[in-house]
Amino acid sequence: MENSKVAVLLCGYGEVDEYDEFTEYNERSFRLLVSKSIKFPDFSIPFLSRRLERQQRKEWHAANHYHSPHNEIFERQRAGLEVELQKRFGEDVAVFKAFNFVPPFLPEDVLAEIRSLGYERLLVYPWLVVDSVFTSGLALEQINEALAPDPSWIKGMRYLPSFWEREDFQDRLVDLIDESVAPLLDRFAPIQIGVMLCLHGCPLESKGYETGVRESTALYYGLQEKLIHKYPLMTPGWMNHPVPGKWTTPDVDQAAENLITLGAKAIAFVPIGFVTENHETQLDIGYTIDKVKDKVECVHAPTLNDDPALLEMGAQWVAPLIEELRSV
């Protein structure tokens, strides 16, 4: 078939690599992300961005000049998914990455590249656990803005919603949780081990938008159902942002104290709301561990990152949509 090439646009947040990039990143975040739940006067955003930049610079400096691994891991995920897809479709399928907040990979820039390379079929693939206005919604908003001047070059498009409810994904998370708890079992009874499943925090009020709280809660209970018989002390731990408003509870600090109150002698912190390591999964969970490590033994599990099983599954999830696009 003539020009059956398909561009897969893998969408993520992206994180800053250098301190001096914080202000620009924050301004994009305030305009696109935070404004969905809190209304800021436009004139205040540059001031708030600089104020937050100073706080972040201090925080990352205190964390031994922290450097986020997110972008490097995301690139490995992109490349791994492309390898898996090209095993099936050959070089007619390529995977591109787009970041919500980090140039030169903003959706408008990447879509221009995709068009220049002659692609007319596009599969939008948010590489995010849960669909919400704060995750995949941001990518769709930016893609729509980029396409607005001339959408005519798109001859076919498909979209894959986030993958929290997929059985194979949940089963891989169950294995990750078992792997994380295993080192504790030679010193503690299973009933003494608290298992905190860390989820991306959600504001409870967001101008009527879907925030992801429903899907995240369902993911937690889906995993709880599979694991509660082995690990009775299990709780969600919401990783909320330090901005005004009502947020999901219990947050990770409160969840840890709850487990300790119920008799936990060890806690496994497992970030299930993310598949790419970032400052939240590393620094924020680390802050909670620092607060309780004198009371309980702590295990800090990684995200799945470029786990081969995850990348193989991720390719399988989009393959049917690619088949559709190739026949358009």
Q: pLDDT tens across 118-130, in order?
A: 999 999 999 999 9
Whole-number average pLDDT of the chain: 88
**pLDDT confidence of residue 246:** 83
Quick check: 135 pLDDT over 90?
Answer: no
Is the distance from CB of 242 to CB of 279 less than 8 angstroms? no
Over pLDDT 70: what percentage of the chain?
82
- Across the range 179-194, mean pLDDT stands at 97
- Across the range 50-61, mean pLDDT stands at 58
Q: Which range is least confidently modeled, 35-44, 94-103, 261-270, 286-295?
A: 35-44
- Closest Cα to residue 175, out of 10, 316, 313? 313
Give the sheet arrangement for strand 93-99, strand by strand.
93-99, 6-12, 121-126, 156-159
Strand 121-126 to strand 193-200: parallel, antiparallel, or no bridges (unpaired)?
unpaired
List strand residue ranges (DSSP E) for 138-257, in order.
Answer: 156-159, 193-200, 234-239
- Residue 303's Cβ-side half-sphere holds a number of Cα atoms within 13 Å equal to 25
Q: Which residue has the higher pLDDT, 139 or 23?
A: 139
Q: Positive or negative CA dihedral for 221, 194, 132, 130?
A: negative
Residue 36 pLDDT class (50, 70, 90 cuts): low
Q: Which range is least confidently modeled, 134-138, 174-178, 288-292?
A: 134-138
Quick check: 3 pLDDT over 80?
Answer: no
Q: Which range is least confidently modeled, 7-21, 126-140, 247-261?
A: 7-21
Strand 121-126 to strand 156-159: parallel, antiparallel, or no bridges (unpaired)?
parallel
Quick check: 216 pLDDT over 80?
Answer: yes
Structure tokens at 182: 């295993």
Quick check: 206 pLDDT over 80?
Answer: no
Where does residue 124 rank: exposed (0-12), middle (13-18), buried (19+ CB within 10 A)?
buried
Quick check: 60 pLDDT over 70?
Answer: no
Residue 117 pLDDT class (50, 70, 90 cuts): very high
Q: How much is the pTM?
A: 0.88
Residue type, 157: M
> Under DSSP, is residue 93 helix (H, G, I), strand (E, B) or coil?
strand
Residue 300 parent element (H or E) = strand 297-300
Phi-psi region of 250 (alpha: psi -120 to 50; beta: other; left: phi over 0): beta
Q: Which range is least confidently modeled, 53-57, 119-123, 133-137, 233-237?
A: 53-57
**Cα dihedral angle (275, 279, 284, 289), rounded to 10 degrees?**
80
Residue type, 64: N
Is the distance from CB of 19 to CB of 228 less than 8 angstroms? no
**pLDDT confidence of residue 47:** 45
